[in-house]
């Protein structure tokens, strides 16, 4: 089982294929397995790196809340790439992983050839409802755990689209979520997701980040629509792609469209055709 001791924890990772590195960071409700449709497609051309964040077995699950923050997860990714000898990569992520990818690009632009930001930024607007909802989720996880909550969570308004489109894939998502660490999930909610800075607070840093960026969002993922527009407005190299009748996990809901759009983006970057304002 491949693992890297970085930043005080052991992170599980997988490297598939050869070529320029494409690093994919998973969402809170997923794991490295969430990127399987992309690994199978992009490993034909790229070296695809997927991994589990701290708090997601088989990566380590630290006990202290102070061992979790968005900055810590960004540093985990930085040290993982250093461990793998990767000096530059396409860096992408979904949801929580999308925030990590974006903030990795801000912290380490010299290592970021391009950014892929998927369904990211929830909580940047509407925090008066977002924060209580997330705290309620943390309390539920503490009380009953993911084995009880997974199916209910997977039928949220921005999740049910996956069940409608791909029932088998949705069940795989539920099963993976049910196996999450309750002890890891609670501090991830409270210390990472709730406390991360809204993208609106990153305006000055986004404007200085002159690298290619593709922002992808589902039109039924309401909490992420405004943040996507904020990022599109302030990132000089950003393009925005909206998936119709789609929710949060668009890489699983529409893998063919997602993969082709991402491939077109990477091809444009490699040809020097992606515009940076």
- pLDDT (mean) for 94-103: 98
Q: Which pLDDT score, from 0 to 100, does residue 60 have?
A: 98
| Sign for the pseudo-dihedral over CA of 104, 118, 233, 235 | positive
Average pLDDT of the chain? 97
pLDDT tens string 140-199: 999 999 999 999 999 999 999 999 999 999 999 999 999 999 999 999 999 999 999 999
Give 9's contacts (C-beta < 8 A, 6+ positions apart): 54, 59, 60, 62, 67, 76
**Which pTM was predicted?**
0.97
151 located within any domain: yes
277 located within any domain: no
- pLDDT (mean) for 12-30: 98
- Is 35:251 a contact under the CB 8 Å cutoff? yes
192 located within any domain: yes
What domain count does the chain have?
1
Q: Which pLDDT score, from 0 to 100, does residue 2 have?
A: 80
pLDDT tens string 114-123: 999 999 999 9
- 85 dihedral zone (left: phi>0; alpha: psi -120 to 50; beta): left
Per DSSP bridges, beta strands 89-94 and 112-118 are parallel
Per DSSP bridges, beta strands 9-16 and 3-6 are antiparallel
| Domain hosting residue 111, numbered range | 3-270
276 located within any domain: no
- pLDDT (mean) for 70-74: 98
124 located within any domain: yes
pLDDT tens string 153-165: 999 999 999 999 9
Q: Which pLDDT score, from 0 to 100, does residue 1 have?
A: 61
- Is 28:193 a contact under the CB 8 Å cutoff? yes
**Radius of gyration for the alpha carbons in the chain, expressed in angstroms and rounded:** 17
142 located within any domain: yes
- 224: domain CATH number is 3.40.50.1820
Q: Which pLDDT score, from 0 to 100, does residue 259 have?
A: 98
168 located within any domain: yes
- pLDDT (mean) for 233-248: 98
- pLDDT (mean) for 236-242: 98
Question: pLDDT confidence of 52, banded at 50, 70, 90?
Answer: very high
- pLDDT (mean) for 205-233: 97
> How many angstroms separate the most distant Cα atoms in the chain?
52
Residue 42 in tokens: 């992009």
- Is 15:39 a contact under the CB 8 Å cutoff? no
- pLDDT (mean) for 240-247: 98
10 located within any domain: yes
């Amino acid at each position: 089982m491949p693992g890297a001791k970085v930043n005080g924890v052991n992170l599980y990772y997988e490297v598939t294929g050869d070529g320029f590195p494409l690093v994919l960071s998973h969402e809170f409700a997923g794991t490295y397995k969430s990127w399987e449709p992309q690994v199978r497609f992009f490993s034909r051309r790229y070296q695809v790196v997927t991994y589990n964040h701290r708090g997601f077995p088989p990566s380590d699950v630290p006990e202290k809340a102070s061992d979790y923050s968005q900055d810590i997860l960004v540093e985990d990714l930085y040290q993982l790439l250093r461990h793998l000898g990767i000096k530059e990569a396409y860096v992408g992520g979904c949801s929580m992983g999308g925030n990590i990818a974006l903030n990795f690009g801000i912290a380490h632009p010299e290592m970021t050839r391009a950014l892929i930001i998927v369904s990211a930024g929830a909580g940047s607007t509407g925090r008066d409802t977002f924060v209580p909802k997330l705290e309620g989720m943390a309390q539920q996880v503490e009380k009953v755990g993911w084995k009880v909550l997974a199916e209910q969570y997977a039928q949220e308004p921005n999740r049910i689209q996956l069940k409608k489109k791909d029932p088998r894939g949705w069940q795989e998502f539920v099963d993976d979520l049910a196996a999450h660490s309750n002890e890891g999930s609670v501090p991830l909610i409270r210390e990472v997701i709730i406390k991360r800075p809204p993208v609106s607070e990153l305006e000055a840093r986004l404007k200085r980040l002159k690298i290619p960026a593709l922002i992808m969002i589902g039109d039924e993922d309401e909490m992420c629509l405004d943040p996507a527009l904020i990022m599109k407005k302030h990132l000089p190299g950003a393009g925005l792609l909206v998936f119709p009748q789609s929710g949060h996990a668009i890489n699983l809901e529409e893998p063919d469209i997602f993969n082709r759009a991402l491939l077109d983006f990477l091809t444009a970057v490699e040809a020097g055709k992606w515009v940076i304002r």
